[in-house]
Every structure is written in C-alpha cells, then in structure tokens.
Amino acid sequence: MKFFIDTANIDQIKEAHDLGILDGVTTNPSLMAKEGISGKESVFAHYKKICEIVDGDVSAEVISTDFDGMIREANELVKIHPRIVVKIPMIKDGVKAIKYLTGKGIKTNCTLVFSPGQAILAAKAGATYISPFLGRLDDISFDGMELIAQLRLIFDNYGFTTQILAASIRHPIHIIKCAEIGADVATCPLSSILALLNHPLTDIGLEKFLADHKASQKTEKVKV
C-alpha cells in the first residue's frame, strides 16, 4: 500500500518524506486555506514547492464545477510540474472531465467519493485514483471501511486499474484496516502515520536493552 500525506503543510510533508516512506501528497482547497495560501500565483507556487520535495504524485484540486472550467484549470495545473495529478470532484461534469483528461494522458484523482456507484462511474471514466472519504462516512454513522471493501471487490471483479486512494483517514486503525482490505493508497495526516510507530512493548523493550547494555559496560570497566 502506498502512503500519501494529506496536507499542504510544508514542514509536515518534509517530515514524512525524511522518514523515507512517502509516496505522494494530496491537498484540497480547505488544506491550502489552512496554510493561509490564497491567490492563484501563491497556490501554484505552493504546489511547485510540494512537488520539489516528494518523488510521487501530488494531487491539486480544481475549483471550477463546470466541464470547461475544470479542463481549463487542469491544463494550467499540469504545467506546474509533471507530478501533478488533477483532483476533480465527483459530479456529472467531473465525470466528463475525467474521461476527457484521461484521453489526453492527464492523471486524475476523483474526490468526494462516498458510494460504490460514484466509484464505478469514476473508474469507467478512467480516473487514475478515486478518493473515498472514510472518516466523513464514519462521522454520519456509515461504515467508511465497508465502502473500501466494496470498491476493492468491484474493481477486482472487472479489472479496473483505477487506484483506491483511501482518504479522510483519522487514526492508525483506519490505515491498518485499509491495508487488510487492499486499498492501493492511504492518504493520511502526519499524526496518523507517526501513530503507527507506537507500541508500549517496543518502548519497554528498548529501555531494557539500553539499561542492560549500560550495566554490561560498567561490569567491563570493573574487570579492567
């Protein structure tokens, strides 16, 4: 499973990249706004900065909701960097835009996917990725993980090459369940990635190893 980081925060992207496990980045207009990035020039410069840090795909979202606007924005976004993937919302014109961009060899990420029906449309249109939002489904008492399992089954039934990019991940169990089901990508906040490191037995075990090592060094000195 590939690991993407779901943020526009440069420090967090660098930290995940330095860990050596980062395969890409996803952003959205809310995440860009959170970093105080506004205005086309600043937004484009920020995407470029992100692309220069990571080696993998970087999703940049369109703001238009009509076909022509989405295509115009997509053509501008892909000029920023070869690693840009155009993020398109799951709406009627979005499906048409995905089909068109796929035909032009432009990578797309269909966002705001909440049902298997939406995912089938995006996959048939040729989306490179689809982003089902797990956490937001959980928030309204639907099982987000069940959606990932349904998508894995459907895509495997028909050999769809669209990658399931599990999004709106809120905690490490989401990541582990995604890996069990076979999501292609998990895009996660840095906190959820770092939480995977934690286990109390690791801490206790390491403390004991180091204490035993220190004690053995003292014994050595006494012998000399």
Q: Under the criterion CB under 6 A, does residue 133 sit at the interface with ligand G3P?
A: yes
Instruction: Write the secondary structure of 33-78 as one string of H (helix), E (strand) and C (coil).
Output: HHCCCCCHHHHHHHHHHHHHHCCCEEEEECCCCCHHHHHHHHHHHC
Q: Under the criterion CB under 6 A, does residue 167 sit at the interface with ligand G3P?
A: yes
Q: Map the footprint of ligand G3P across residues 169-208, applying CB under 6 A.
A: 187
Nearer to ligand G3P, 118 or 131 (CB): 131
Do residues 186 and 169 lie in contact, with contact meaning Cβ atoms separated by under 8 Å?
Answer: yes
Selected range binding ligand G3P among 12-20, 73-81, 128-136, 199-207, rule: CB under 6 A:
128-136
**Using CB under 6 A as the criterion, what x/- string covers residues 53-92 for binding ligand G3P?**
----------------------------------------
Site size toward ligand G3P (CB under 6 A) is: 11
Selected range binding ligand G3P among 12-20, 24-32, 141-149, 151-159, rule: CB under 6 A:
24-32
Kindly list the distances between the CA atom of residue 172 and the CA atoms of 12, 95, 106, 197, in Å, as whole numbers in the listed order: 17, 31, 32, 10
Query: CB of residue 209 vs ligand G3P: minimum separation in angstroms?
Result: 38
CA–CA gap between residue 24 and residue 17 (Å, rounded): 9
DSSP state of 128: S
Facing residues of 224 across strands?
Answer: none
**Contact with ligand G3P (CB under 6 A) among 168, 175, 177, 184:** 168
Q: Under the criterion CB under 6 A, does residue 135 sit at the interface with ligand G3P?
A: yes
**Contact with ligand G3P (CB under 6 A) among 28, 108, 109, 118:** 28
Query: CB of residue 133 vs ligand G3P: minimum separation in angstroms?
Result: 6
Query: CB of residue 188 vs ligand G3P: minimum separation in angstroms?
Result: 9
Do residues 184 and 2 lie in contact, with contact meaning Cβ atoms separated by under 8 Å?
Answer: yes
Q: Which of 19, 11, 2 is nearest to 195 (CA)?
A: 19
Q: Which of 127, 176, 134 is nearest to 155 (CA)?
A: 127
Side-chain half-sphere exposure of 147, counting CA atoms within 13 A: 28
Q: Which H or E element spans position 132?
A: strand 129-132
Applying CB under 6 A, the residues found at the interface with ligand G3P are 6, 26, 28, 31, 131, 133, 135-136, 167-168, 187
